[in-house]
Amino acid sequence: MTAPPPAPTRSWLREHSELGVCVLLFVLGVLVLTDALTMDVDLTQRGPVGPRTVPVVVGAGLLVVAVLLAVDVLRGGRGEAEAGEDVDLAEPADRRTVALLTGVFLAFAVLIDPLGFPIAGALLFWGSAHALGSRHHDRDPLIAAGLSFVTYFVFDHLLGVPLPGGPLMGVL
Amino acid sequence: MDSLNSLIDGFGTALTPVNLLWAALGVLLGTAIGVLPGIGPAMAVALLLPVTYGLEPTGAFIMFAGIYYGAMFGGSTTSILLNTPGESAAVVAAIEGNPMAKAGRGAQALAAAAIGHFTGGMIGTILLVVLAPTVASLAVDIGAPDYFAIMVLAFIAVTSVLGSSRIRGLASLLIGLTIGLVGLDAMTGQQRLTFGSLQLADGIDVVIVAVGLFAIGEALWVAAHLRRSSERPIPVGLPWLGRADVRRTWKPWLRGPFIGFPFGAVPAGGAEIPTFLSYVTEKRLSKHRDEFGKGAIEGVAGPESAASASAAGTLVSMLTLGLPTTAVAAVMLAAFQQYGIQPGPLLFEREPELVWGLIASLFVGMVLLLALNLPLAPLWAKLLKIPRPYLYAGILFFAAVGAYAVGGEAVDLVILLVIGLIGFGMRRYGLPVLPAIIAVILGPAAEQQLRRALQISDGSVTGLVNTPFSVSVYAIVLLILAWPLVRKLVVRLRS
């Protein structure tokens, strides 16, 4: 242990980070309730139960669950992180990879319309594989380009699901 | 006899070259998905939803059913050879199957599992043929209050029976219901949770929610905890069984379906509970009890047979009542909604070609699966060598393709990512994903049925409980809710 021990409040917060879930659930509940209660239903209401009833129940339910979950966490209850074939829970969470993947995916969402699917898709696959630790600089881009072009062709030409070709397909 | 004739007609549908092709594609994809870590059948069907936009429904559902059954076959291969079951249905297969593989009896374990899946699937599907039309005809005149009661049962059962924590299941259910609320109210056109955005007024497409929660959420979650040193699968030869093994396995194969099928039909988490129950039963009945835990072949044969039969049971509830009891069934239900087909008692009358073609294709698929899995198991095991970065990059890639294909809009990709991050958080903090996805798919329908029922009764709450059917369903709901209290009481009385 080379790092200095974290301050007691910080380690308490880290241990009880699940309380963040409670806060989010609570905020969501308030959001659903305000949306439901500010709804203008006088004109549209048909039948005894209007469009407001279910959102009010769901919103109230979210508030109750947020409080109950907080009580459970403070009493020492913990949600079990999900296990899986490729999941090693003994390792601490690798936040950098998750952030990188999120960034790559957002870049794809921005680039798909200007660049077209074949190029943006290849970048998505290559970027994700790189973020996940693949370091074959010769093989990775080739696989990415091949996968992206084949997928474009299969969806756009064979399955009839249109994907944007972009400038590259305009040239070809 | 009526259903026998329909089944023969169904074989006419299933055995056309095109539908045979879909069945073959389905079982191939399903086996690959079952063997591959990280991809489950629910994620696979969700990823394929956009691909099937251009298909006619019969072909699509034949493929989906092939994936569901195929993933069960393939999942046990991974459990036996790698001892890291990813799908809950295959957990039990690892308990006995992996020690067998380590002791050099991997071939026998694979054979016991594959033939178990075949037997279980066959018996389960025969039960489906016999029971489904009966259930459908019994349920044919159920109305709005009954449908609402069934959906309440589904909500309560998936939150209470599954997972270790009810409160977390409930949180997941409410998140799903909230996502389902977004958009225009179907009855009045009132905007809900749209915040003035035109994009949100259409609601969030079920495909985007399913792909986000299953594919993006899973890929990000694995990325955060990727196992750097993956275990080597145990090398294995061709699966085969000696006479002594067959003598030990034929009874478990035949017993498994009768445990698996009923549990598949009720919303109790699919194959998880019945495989475990079958394991315990076989252990109790076995003459080789001392071998259990060290590689007893009965412990592979019984549970695997139960797992496949539970898939058939799941289809009974989904086709006859529109009630999804597992994640795969929930996503298949979303596919039905996409085609504008309402699963339920009337399905057998309105779409006989689709239903019976689907059921007949299950028999075809089972034969294909046995032929694919028995001789080719060592080949399938090679799939485990795929580099993990490619596997998870591929999942992200196809998730993006699917979400974009829904509407051709880049904004959908951002919504997909947000839902994926929610899925990531849910995995991190132990909120089960299944209640959320069932709530998204059934929530809007449940609200409609509730309001319809109350409209008929003119607002009186008694309108929800005025049929014997709905009353008995609510009785089951109460039983599920009260169960922990009852159990506590019993324990206290005993001590």
Within 13 A of A12's CA, how many CA atoms are on the CB side?
4
Interface of A with B in 5-64 (CB under 8 A): 18, 21, 25, 28, 31-32, 35-36, 39-41, 44-51, 54-55, 58, 61-62
The Cα–Cα gap between B75 and B94 comes to 10
Residues A107 and A165 in one domain: yes
> What residue spans define the domains of chain B?
2-494
Residues A99 and A167 in one domain: yes
Residues A14 and A59 in one domain: yes
Is position A21 within any domain? yes
Structure tokens at B214: 């299953």
Query: Does A2 score more than 60 pLDDT?
Result: no
Is position A31 within any domain? yes
Q: Does the distance separating the beta carbons of B82 and A125 come in below 8 Å?
A: no
Residues A62 and A113 in one domain: no
Residues A100 and A167 in one domain: yes
How far does the CA of residue A12 sit from the closest CA of chain B (Å)? Answer: 17
Q: DSSP string of A73-131?
A: HHTT--PPPPP-TTB-TTSPP-HHHHHHHHHHHHHHHHHHHHH-HHHHHHHHHHHHHHH
Residue A87 pairs in a beta bridge with B226
Q: Which residue has the tokens 């299944």?
A: B434
Is position A113 within any domain? yes
Helix axes B352-381, B57-82, angle to 10 degrees: 30
Residues A107 and A158 in one domain: yes
Residues A154 and A112 in one domain: yes
What pTM does this model have?
A: 0.87
Helix axes B106-138, B2-14, angle to 10 degrees: 120
Q: Could you give the angle at the alpha carbon of B216 between the alpha carbons of B214 and B222, nearest 5°?
A: 90
| Chain B residue whose CA is closest to A21 | B429
Choose among A62, A110, A129: nearest Cβ to B174: A62
Q: Are A104 and A128 in contact (CB under 8 A)?
A: yes
Into how many domains does chain A fold? Answer: 2
How far does the CA of residue A21 sit from the closest CA of chain B (Å)? Answer: 8
How far does the CA of residue B217 sit from the closest CA of chain A (Å)? Answer: 11
Residues 6+ apart with CB under 8 A from B75: B34, B35, B85, B86, B87, B89, B90, B93
Cβ-based contacts under 8 A for chains A and B: 232
3 state SS of B74: helix
Q: Are B259 and B278 in contact (CB under 8 A)?
A: yes
Q: What spatial distance separates the first Cα and last Cα of chain A, rounded to whole Å?
A: 59
Q: Which amino acid is at B379?
A: L
- A138 reaches B (C-beta below 8 A): no
The Cα–Cα gap between B214 and B164 comes to 20
Q: What is the mean pLDDT of residues A47-55?
A: 79
Is position A29 within any domain? yes
Is position A89 within any domain? no
How far does the CA of residue A4 sit from the closest CA of chain B (Å)? Answer: 25
Closest CA to B283 of B274, B275, B292: B292
Residues written for chain B? 495
The Cα–Cα gap between B328 and B346 comes to 22
B490: exposed, middle or buried (Cβ count in 10 Å: 0-12, 13-18, 19+): exposed
Give the DSSP H or E segment for B184.
Answer: strand B183-184
Query: Does A1 score more than 50 pLDDT?
Result: no
The Cα–Cα gap between A148 and B400 comes to 11
Is position A2 within any domain? no
Residues A127 and A68 in one domain: no
Q: How far is CA B444 from the centre of its chain?
A: 21
ipTM for the predicted complex: 0.90
Which residues in A lie closer than 8 A to residue B76 (C-beta atoms)?
A: none
Structure tokens at A5: 């021990």
Report in angstroms the alpha-carbon separations of B303 from B69, B289, B331: 15, 16, 25
Residues A166 and A110 in one domain: yes
pLDDT at B205: 86
Is position A160 within any domain? yes
The Cα–Cα gap between B142 and B472 comes to 13
Is position A87 within any domain? no
Query: Does A154 score more than 70 pLDDT?
Result: yes
Residues A66 and A127 in one domain: no
pLDDT at B244: 83
Q: What is the pLDDT of residues A12-41, one digit of tens each?
A: 777 778 888 999 999 999 999 998 888 776
Residues A101 and A57 in one domain: no
Q: What is the pLDDT of residues A52-100, one digit of tens each?
A: 888 999 999 999 999 999 998 888 878 778 777 777 777 778 889 999 9
Low-confidence spans in chain B with pLDDT less than 70: 1, 84-89, 161-164, 229-231, 268-269
Choose among B174, B175, B188: nearest Cβ to A51: B188
The Cα–Cα gap between B434 and B329 comes to 11
The Cα–Cα gap between B116 and B114 comes to 5
3 state SS of A16: coil
Q: Give the domain range for residue A43.
A: 8-74
Residue B191 pairs in a beta bridge with B184
Q: Which amino acid is at B237?
A: G
